[in-house]
Amino acid sequence: MNTIHVGILSTGTEILQGLYADTNAQWLSARLSAMGLHVVRHVAAPDRARDVADAIAYLGRTCQLVVMTGGLGPTEDDLTRQAVCEAFGTRLREDAKAWRMIVERFRHRGVAPPASNRVQCLIPEGARTLYNLWGTAPGFAIDRPPKGLPWFAALPGPPRENRPMFEKYLEREIARRFARGRIARIRTLHTVGISESALNDRLRALFEEIGDDPDRGIAFLSGDARVDIRLVARGADPAQVRASMNALSARVRRRVPPDCIYGSDRETLEAVVLRLMRKRGRRLAVAESCTGGQVASRLTDIAGSSDVFLAGWVAYSNEAKCSELGVRRSTLERHGAVSAETAAEMARGALDRSGADVAVSVTGIAGPGGGTKEKPVGLVWYGLAWREERKKGASGTVRCETFQTCFRSGREMVRRYASHRALDLVRRLAIGLPLELPKS
């Protein structure tokens, strides 16, 4: 079966000026990829008819299907319709039903439509109108393109309009015409404590084996203090696709240290931590300095976290570390706020004051200033204190360990990485993994 290549064209000068993120292309890519189609091009064009026509011609050279968003409004810079006519060698015609729908929409507001809205009813001759039930601008689809041009659909730019229109008019049609019963399964494995380059080295042979196989794929997505491994399996038989995905996932897992994969798909590290702690009947407290409450915020973003997360402190100043968490002044004077000793006392203080079973602390130098040769910007110390589990009614012995990282990636990334490492320490403790990160 020939592979269907798909292109997505986003129009709008505002996208190219960086004023808005192109969320339409992201959303459409996910929906089209789930059908087993290959999205191979994302193109953005400014609000100039010549540029839009050139972009359509460019996509038509490599893609059998092109979906465009934007440029269907009533203003002078909405020139998409003319550009499509230029690219497809046709002309505009008025769709009377589309105009009646616009008039009715304005009537419900108690006003008459401005004259400029009438341009929205102009549809390329030979195109099928996609009537807009969520706004004023109809879309259209060119089902029988001239030879050498792609099957083409145009949708308005606002997501509140184009997404329901895609689902109503295009999703099933595209699946029938192009997917031909094919489906795709996508699985994302989330890793922590291992670099993208180290993952690449471990999976290099698998990458080389898959090559250009259209039915299997692996990709790395780096960001947000983690590296994701995105797996894709495609085919026509759901059972075979599921088996292919499971086999591919198993081969990846055999090559990656098991303690580095903390979850998959929509699982977040904080949700995993809460689930593991809940399963073991353990409760958690946090004490933060340089992260400014990010660890607590991530935990409380999860509904129902209160049965696990008891309390958190943002002890930013030395005075707060002493008064709120019981850190000794002699410790701060001798070792400083960013030290193993202070991190340990912060964790023990949070454990004692909250009555939790586990407490994690974070103290570091996020930057951009404040670093020294001995303690550079990016240095973070963590304390992990916990009560060893004993029989019911007996109090467990308290243990405490400290850990160090140094992320030289800018203030926000230092804080984000530190919150990630703190949560990962709790995860590792909860399931009995080594607390130290594996050597990449």
- Counted residue by residue, the chain has a size of 440
Output the pTM of the full model.
0.75
Residue 60: the pLDDT is: 94
Please say whether the beta carbons of 297 and 309 come within 8 A.
Answer: no
Per-residue pLDDT band for 395 (boundaries 50, 70, 90) equals: low
Q: What is the pLDDT of residue 313?
A: 98
Partners of residue 400 on adjacent β-strands = 385
CATH 3.20.10.10 assigned to domain 269-430? The reply is no
Answer positive or negative: Cα dihedral of 243, 247, 252, 253.
Answer: positive
> Tens digit of pLDDT for each residue in 18-53?
999 999 999 999 899 888 888 999 999 999 999 999
Residue 262 CA to its chain's centroid (Å): 16
> Measured between alpha carbons, how far is 46 from 86 in angstroms, rounded to an integer?
16
In terms of phi and psi (left: phi > 0; alpha: psi -120 to 50; beta: otherwise), the region of 101 is alpha
φ/ψ of residue 17, rounded to 5: -85, 0
pLDDT at 260 over 90: yes
Closest listed residue to residue 167, CA positions, set 67, 76, 250, 71: 67
Provide the pLDDT confidence category of residue 296 given band limits of 50, 70 and 90.
Answer: very high
Which value, to the nearest 10 degrees, does the dihedral of the CA atoms of residues 331, 326, 315, 342 take? 30
Mean pLDDT, to the nearest integer, of 272-282? Answer: 97
Mean pLDDT, residues 394-404 taken together: 86
Above 60 in pLDDT, residue 394? Answer: no
- For the record, the structure tokens of 166 come out as 């895609």
- On the question of pLDDT at 381 being above 90, the answer is yes
DSSP 167-196: IIIIHHHHIIIIITT-EEEEEEEEE-SS-H
- Mean pLDDT on 297-319: 97
| C-beta separation of 148 from 60 below 8 A | yes
Fold classified for 5-179: Molybdenum Cofactor Biosythetic Enzyme; Chain A (3.40.980)
- How far is Cα 168 from Cα 165, in angstroms, rounded to an integer? 5
Neighbours of 91 (CB within 10 A): 12
Residue 133 or residue 225, greater confidence: 133
pLDDT at residue number 2: 64
Across 192-205, average pLDDT: 93
- So what's the pLDDT on residue 183? 81
**pLDDT, tens digit, 9 for 90 and up, residues 126-185:** 999 999 999 999 999 999 999 889 999 999 999 999 999 999 999 999 988 998 777 888
Pairing of strands 284-288, 309-314: parallel
44 contacts: CB under 8 Å, gap ≥ 6: 9, 10, 11, 12, 15, 16, 22, 25
Residue 392 confidence class, pLDDT cut points 50, 70, 90? low
137 and 99 Cβ atoms separated by less than 8 Å = no
- Percent over 90 (pLDDT), the chain: 82
Average pLDDT over residues 354-368: 96
Q: What token pair was written down for 79? A: 């020139």
Q: Report the pLDDT averaged over residues 309-325.
A: 98
Q: How confident is the model at residue 440 (pLDDT cuts 50, 70, 90)?
A: low
pLDDT at 56 over 60: yes
pLDDT at position 212: 83
Domain boundaries, the chain: 5-179, 183-264, 269-430
Lowest mean pLDDT: which of 74-88, 124-138, 222-236, 384-398?
A: 384-398
The per-residue pLDDT of the chain, averaged, comes to: 93
User: What pLDDT shows up at residue 390?
Assistant: 65
Q: What is the pLDDT of residue 35?
A: 85
* Distance linking the first and last C-alpha atoms of the chain: 41
| Contact in structure between 349 and 276 (CB atoms under 8 Å) | no
Task: Identify the three-state secondary structure at position 325.
Answer: helix
Per DSSP (E only), the strands in 236-281 are 261-264
Question: For 244-257, what is each residue's pLDDT tens digit?
Answer: 999 999 999 999 99
Q: How confident is the model at residue 225 (pLDDT cuts 50, 70, 90)?
A: confident
Mean pLDDT of 298-323: 97
Give the pLDDT confidence score for residue 37 in this predicted structure. 87
- Is residue 61 scored above 80 in pLDDT? yes
Q: Whose structure tokens read 């960001």? A: 223
Residues 306, 290: Cα–Cα separation, whole Å: 24
CATH C-level class of 183-264: alpha beta
